[in-house]
Amino acid sequence: MPAKKKRYRIGVMGGTFNPIHYGHLVTAEEALYQFKLDKVIFMPAGKPPHKRDSEILPPEERYLLTVIATASNPDFVVSRLEIDRKGLSYTIDTLLELHQIYGPRADLFFITGADAVWELLTWKDADKLLELTEFIAATRPGYSLEKFKKLHVLPEGKAGEKLRPKVSIMEIPALAISSTDIRQRVREGRPIRYLVPEGVASYIYKCGFWKD
Ligand code: NAP
């Protein structure tokens, strides 16, 4: 009997990464371990669909910071798919492209913040998204998982039935770190050392980001 071909498990770490920090890196590493992934592809959003924020760095800068942050980990790679695509960065377009690239033997796991996942049903082609991938929702400590499950990610009724088997929740203590707090710290001249990799901090200071 021919040997059964191995399936390929790919994590897709979606986020704005404005900037990337240790909370994101710990999340990706934990997903790699818990879900036995073969690798994690960091996917900085080119134009995030639900955001109109003047504080967002240009896509190339967020991409570069993500490359710097992940350089030392052989299981992490960074994709330019959303950076290079024109228009808003819809997750459905990204997942369809990844399916084309990796073929039918790949299982995709979309990893992102729980706050984003809770709005999943409002995303473009939500039904199709739920067919194409599983979601790993990372939460900060102190987030009430019960409340979260009941009220947000897993609503009662038909929508809940669709979402329930497709969303896993992963609590990540390091997500006490947030990009918003890092930008605020930079603006106020407070330290960001040990919150982001050294190379990321150096590049932020060198370019004078969020200094007004
Ligand atoms: P966001 O609203 O900026 O983030 C929501 C929360 O999740 C924030 O607390 C954020 O913390 C955290 N977070 C974001 N990415 C994370 C990650 N990979 N791991 C752990 N925590 C994370 O979310 P966003 O960045 O705009 O969107 C997240 C992903 O969902 C992106 O890939 C985006 O393209 C996708 N999305 C798609 C659609 C669509 O297709 N219509 C709509 C909305 C979002 P930090 O601020 O510290 O990162």
- All residues at 6 or more sequence positions from 93 whose CB lies less than 8 Å from its CB, including other chains: 85
Our measurement of the distance from residue 207's CA atom to the centroid of its chain's CA atoms, rounded to an integer in Å, reads: 24
- Counting ligand 1 atoms within 8 A of each CB, the residue from 12, 16, 95 with the most, and so the one to mutate, is 16
**% residues pLDDT > 90 (the chain):** 70
Distance 42 CA to ligand 1 centre (A): 12
pLDDT band at 49 (very low <50, low <70, confident <90, very high): confident
Q: What pTM value is reported for the model?
A: 0.93
Per the DSSP assignment, residues forming a β-bridge with 107 are: 9
Compute, in angstroms, the gap from residue 31 CA to the centroid of ligand 1: 16
Going by the DSSP 8-state scheme, the letter that residue 86 receives in this structure is: S
CA dihedral 39, 171, 185, 41 (to 10 degrees): 10
Ligand 1 lined by 128 (C-beta under 6 Å): no
CATH dotted code for 8-142+159-207: 3.40.50.620
* CA atoms within 13 A of residue 18's CA, in its CB half-sphere: 17
Q: Is 117 in the pocket of ligand 1 (CB under 6 A)?
A: no
Q: Which pLDDT value is given to residue 144? A: 60
**Cβ-based neighbour number of residue 112 at 10 Å:** 22
Instruction: Tell whether ligand 1 has an atom less than 6 A from the beta carbon of residue 45.
Output: yes
Average pLDDT over residues 47-71: 89
| Residue where the block lists tokens 């929740």 | 169
Q: Is the CB of 148 under 6 A from ligand 1?
A: no
What is residue 25's predicted lDDT score, i.e. its pLDDT? 98
Domain ranges of the chain: 8-142+159-207
Considering only CA atoms, which of 207, 208, 192 is closest in space to residue 22?
192
- Nearest residue to 171 (alpha-carbon basis) of 143, 152, 135, 133: 143
Average pLDDT, the chain: 89
Closest CA to 55 of 177, 197, 209: 209
Residue 66 beta carbon below 6 angstroms from any ligand 1 atom:
no
Q: How far is the CA of 112 from the centre of ligand 1 (A)?
A: 6
Q: Give mean pLDDT, residues 90-101.
A: 97
The answer, yes or no, to whether any atom of ligand 1 lies below 6 A from the CB of 14, is yes
* Mean pLDDT along residues 54-78: 96
> Is the pLDDT reported for residue 150 higher than 60?
no
Q: Is the CB of 178 under 6 A from ligand 1?
A: yes
User: What average pLDDT does this structure show over 149-159?
Assistant: 56
